[in-house]
Amino acid sequence: MITEKLARIRAEMPVTENAAYLNTGTSGPLSKQTIAILTEENTRELMNGRADMKSYVRLSTAKAGLRQAFADLTGATPAEIALTHHTTEGMNIVSHGLNFQPGDEIITTTLEHEGGLLPLYVLKQRRGVTVKTVDLMNVADDAEIVRRLEAAISPRTRLLVFSHVAWNTGQRLPLAEISAMARRHQVLTLVDAAQSVGAIPLDLPASGVDFYAMPGQKWLCGIEGTGALYIRRERLGMLSPTFIGYASLEDSSMFDYDGAFMLAAGARRFEVGTVDRPGIHAMLANMRWLADEIGWEWIFERIAATATMTFNALNSLSGVTVITPQAGQSGLITFNLDGYDPARVVTKLVRQNIIIRFLPYPYALRVSTGFYNTESDIDRLLGALEDVLSHSPDDLPEFIPPR
Ligand SMILES: Cc1ncc(COP(=O)(O)O)c(C=O)c1O
């Protein structure tokens, strides 16, 4: 049933009415308000110019508001939030900001996205660190996850890098338990939050995590080029800036020509230079809309409910193998139609305006269920999958990879 609230949300996010949009794990649906603000701000810059004092003050207020919005969502303080451009930037800031020595170890898992992994591979090449990868694929039990990670720790281990929600299986990892275990061994934790922020409730200070890298464009339904990095207050001094610029300083005049400079007191020191002003204004309004008008609690409950519904429905279809270990842990459900090529299934569904994606590893289909999805979106998906299953795998259209 579509409630009045849901109908209002769907009218505000037109793609949800034009398609069965089930791909928020890649990019969330945009709102009309976001586009209106981008247009308004770009028009203002076009007509009035871009560099007057008033727009500078407005921008700095909006950036502070956006740090506050990320802090409110995660239980952090604004001083623990740096604005970034995507998850991967946050993963790089921390990976390259810690002072690794040759022979130091970093532990990561087989559930990671390249956004978190590649910075570690560069550290391996550049600083001679050892990267150990723990196999967590098909490990559903939280205690076993913690046990395997702990077993990999040695006296040389400095950092544990993992996703809160795995992009490939949708599994939620036990953040607080892993962080507590790592802390017992004096190992820092860096978490890829691409599939968790905006999808599940967070209290980062209570979780014990040290660093948490978040995107704006996925479950927060913001534009590309937005994101934030949480840096636990006590860990700020451990990170050196790899990139630095006027935005990193307490005040942009706080440097001299003898090599002295004063970094901003909080995590904002990892912000570097000029940003997309219209994007910041639009993202701030978007975060306020989600928090104040829709409500995070409602959002998290709906994502869990639509994900559970989809998980159960897929599990009940014969010819479907669900890879996601448990229902409702995140908004992602990964599965396969036995004997059917995932890329070709996606190609067929896109032609019916049902937007899902396939993953490279495991080679499988992935559905994202958002707070704006309805039972009828899920029914459309299931109907289309049943239709695929009632035909030969050879009847599927060819997949032509984008170049
Ligand atoms: C788990 C995970 N990490 C990192 C990324 C990369 O995200 P971003 O483009 O925000 O850096 C993605 C998404 O594509 C992801 O799913």
Report the distance separating Cα 125 and Cα 114, nearest Å: 16
Q: Find the radius of gyration of the CA atoms of the chain.
A: 22
Report the distance separating Cα 64 and Cα 220, nearest Å: 18
If one counts every other C-beta atom within 10 angstroms of the C-beta of residue 63, the result is: 20
C-alpha of residue 113 to centroid of ligand 1, in Å: 7
Strand bridging mode 211-215 / 227-231? antiparallel
The answer to whether the CB of 179 is under 6 A from ligand 1 is no
Q: Which of 113, 117, 161, 212 to mutate to test the pocket of ligand 1 (most atoms within 8 A of CB)?
A: 113
C-alpha of residue 118 to centroid of ligand 1, in Å: 12
Q: Please give the pLDDT value at position 350.
A: 96
Which ligand 1 atom lies nearest to the CA of residue 227? 10
User: Are 200 and 173 spatial neighbours (Cβ–Cβ below 8 Å)?
Assistant: no
**Looking only at Cα atoms, what is the longest distance across the chain?**
74
Report the distance separating Cα 37 and Cα 51, nearest Å: 18
Report the distance separating Cα 214 and Cα 196, nearest Å: 8
C-alpha of residue 88 to centroid of ligand 1, in Å: 6
Query: Token pair 């950092």 is at which residue?
Result: 159
User: Residue 138 burial (CB < 10 Å; 0-12/13-18/19+)?
Assistant: exposed
Q: Domains of the chain, with CATH numbers?
A: 4-30+295-395 (3.90.1150.10), 35-292 (3.40.640.10)
Tens digit of each residue's pLDDT, the chain (403 residues): 689 999 999 999 999 999 999 999 999 999 999 999 999 999 999 999 988 888 899 999 999 999 999 999 999 999 999 999 999 999 999 999 999 999 999 999 999 999 999 999 999 999 999 999 999 999 999 999 999 999 999 999 999 999 999 999 999 999 999 999 999 999 999 999 999 999 999 999 999 999 999 999 999 999 999 999 999 999 999 999 999 999 999 998 999 999 999 999 999 999 999 999 999 999 999 999 999 999 999 999 999 999 999 999 999 999 999 999 999 999 999 999 999 999 999 999 999 999 999 999 999 999 999 999 999 999 999 999 999 999 999 999 999 887 7
Identify the helix (H) or strand (E) that includes residue 283: helix 277-288
Q: Please give the pLDDT value at position 403.
A: 78
CA-nearest of 148, 102, 95, 159 to 121 is 95
Torsion sign over Cα 328, 334, 338, 343 = positive
Q: Give, using CA atoms, the residue closest to atom 12 of ligand 1.
A: 194
Phi, psi of 282 (to 5 degrees): -65, -40
The answer to whether the CB of 90 is under 6 A from ligand 1 is no
C-alpha of residue 77 to centroid of ligand 1, in Å: 24
Tokens matching residue 177: 């338990």
C-alpha of residue 317 to centroid of ligand 1, in Å: 30
Q: How many residues are given for the chain?
A: 403
The answer to whether the CB of 194 is under 6 A from ligand 1 is yes
Q: Please give the pLDDT value at position 54.
A: 87
The answer to whether the CB of 334 is under 6 A from ligand 1 is no
**Per residue, what are the HEC states of 61-112?**
HHHHHHHHHHHHHHCCCHHHEEEECCHHHHHHHHHHHCCCCCCCEEEEECCC
The answer to whether the CB of 163 is under 6 A from ligand 1 is yes
Distance from CA of residue 55 to its chain's centroid?
Answer: 30
Q: Please give the pLDDT value at position 285.
A: 98
Torsion sign over Cα 125, 242, 100, 204 = negative
C-alpha of residue 56 to centroid of ligand 1, in Å: 30
The answer to whether the CB of 368 is under 6 A from ligand 1 is no
Q: Please give the pLDDT value at position 400.
A: 87
Tokens matching residue 40: 């308004």
DSSP class of residue 226 equals -
C-alpha of residue 190 to centroid of ligand 1, in Å: 14
